[in-house]
Amino acid sequence: MKVNFSVDINDTEELKSVIKTLLEILEINRKYPSVEEMNLTVRALNSLKNYGIKSSRDLVKLRFEDLLAVPNLGRKCINEIESSLKDFDLKLSGR
């Protein structure tokens, strides 16, 4: 992710606003790790990435049944994904 800001460092209010925005971005990224950060097996990781799922934010929008449609992703991998999501206090939709 790339974020560019043009800020007058003498403008305290503008600087506070930019800092607040950056902190919000960091909080969102901390809460929703990428699939690489989820400690998944190579099979689960590659299946998700090949399907276009890049972060846990993408995963929490999906249901167990949705993941069954992902090529090469069986119930065992989906259970592994659910377990990893729990480590981040997240879960699949409808669970």
pLDDT in tens, 37-67: 999 999 999 999 999 999 998 999 999 999 9
Give this prediction's pTM.
Answer: 0.69
* Mean pLDDT score, 11-22: 82
| Closest residue by Cα to residue 67 from 48, 46, 49 | 48
Q: Is the pLDDT of residue 7 over 80?
A: no
Query: Is the Cβ–Cβ distance between 47 and 70 less than 8 Å?
Result: yes
pLDDT reported for residue 62 = 95
3-state secondary structure of 43: helix
List pLDDT tens digits, range 17-35: 888 887 777 666 667 889 9
Burial of 95 (0-12, 13-18, 19+ CB in 10 A): exposed
